[in-house]
Amino acid sequence: MKIIIIGLGNFGRSLALNLTDNGHEVFGVDQKMEKVDLLKDHIANVVCMDANNESAYKVLPIKQANLGIVAIGENEGASIVTTAILKKYKNLRIVSRSLSKIHDTILEAMGIIDVIHPEKDAAFRLTKQISFNYALDYFKIDRKYSIAEVFSPVSFNGKTVKSLKLTQQYSVSLITVIRDLKNPMSNKHNDTRKVIGLVTGDTTLQKGDILTLFGTNKSIMNFVKDKK
């Protein structure tokens, strides 16, 4: 996918590097040369330009791009103007970073569906991880539902999914299991963790499994507290 990222602060820079590592063609844009210099040796295309200058977009392959991400995090006005310029390119799906509730309202009025709040989302996930230090990660679906990754309790070892009655007892659903498939003689860990796919009632849990659970925030909290 060809992606244009405008705004190369901490969030935009991390996004550019991660998307590049995942095989996407990324064009990074920022008006500050020092931010451009930080990325010039790490992504294929990076441009120093004022994103509020509509004529400057001629240097970008914007008509061939699939996705435009407005990652500006210091200037709300500049972010809004940049988003308005990108809206003129009908081929682009636009993702815009919001800096405030008013910004949310403006983006909604502009017809921007994909709005992100990186600081707010990061704070939410960190709060959950601190509150539920048994949880490895926490993904908010909406105000009520979430997905959490938790270590399988020792008491689950050797038991089948159907015997645990997770839905009946904890009001959570098991989406999948991440399992350590490493050779016992090997010292490598991370490279051997694999998602085992869709689980069935006959799936047997093993020591070291990571459970990916779906449920309400309350039901996941209760499960985590009960199984600490």
Q: What contacts 1, CB < 8 A, 6 or more positions away?
A: 24, 25, 66, 67
How far apart CA 27 and CA 68 sit, in angstroms, is 10
Q: What's the mean per-residue pLDDT of the chain?
A: 86
If DSSP codes are grouped into helix, strand and coil, which group holds residue 195? strand
* Residues of each domain in the chain carrying CATH 3.30.70.1450: 121-226
Residue type, 50: D
Q: How confident is the model at residue 184 (pLDDT cuts 50, 70, 90)?
A: very low
pLDDT value of residue 124 = 63
Res. 133: pLDDT tops 80: no
Q: Please state which CATH number belongs to domain 121-226.
A: 3.30.70.1450
Question: Between 166 and 227, whose confidence is greater?
Answer: 166
Res. 180: pLDDT tops 90: no
- pLDDT, mean of residues 57-77: 91
- pLDDT, mean of residues 35-54: 92
Res. 67: pLDDT tops 90: yes
Region of poorest pLDDT, from 187-191, 203-207, 211-215: 187-191
Residue type, 59: V
Torsion sign across C-alpha atoms 164, 167, 172, 177: positive
pLDDT value of residue 108 = 92
How far apart CA 7 and CA 170 sit, in angstroms, is 43
How far apart CA 91 and CA 93 sit, in angstroms, is 7
Q: How confident is the model at residue 135 (pLDDT cuts 50, 70, 90)?
A: low
Q: How confident is the model at residue 186 (pLDDT cuts 50, 70, 90)?
A: very low
* Residues of each domain in the chain carrying CATH 3.40.50.720: 2-116
pLDDT digits (tens, 9 = 90+) for 8-17: 998 999 999 9
Backbone phi, then psi, for 12, in 5-degree steps? Answer: -65, -40
How far apart CA 53 and CA 86 sit, in angstroms, is 11
pLDDT value of residue 188 = 45
Res. 47: pLDDT tops 50: yes
| Long-range contacts of residues 20-29, Cβ cutoff 8 Å, at least 24 apart | 20/44, 25/1, 27/2, 27/3, 27/60, 27/61, 27/65, 29/4, 29/5, 29/60
- pLDDT, mean of residues 57-71: 92
Distance of alpha carbon 97 from the chain centroid: 13
pLDDT value of residue 147 = 86
pLDDT value of residue 164 = 94
Where are the alpha helices (H) located in the chain, listed in sequence order? 10-21, 33-39, 76-86, 101-109, 118-131, 161-164, 166-170, 217-226
| CATH topology (fold) of 2-116 | Rossmann fold (3.40.50)
Query: Nearest Cα to 226, choosing from 147, 164, 183, 138?
Result: 164
pLDDT digits (tens, 9 = 90+) for 154-176: 999 999 999 999 999 999 999 99
User: What is the residue whose two structure tokens read 């500050």?
Assistant: 32
Q: How confident is the model at residue 149 (pLDDT cuts 50, 70, 90)?
A: confident
Query: Rounded to the nearest 5 degrees, what angle is found at the Cα of 221, between the Cα atoms of 217 and 225?
Result: 180
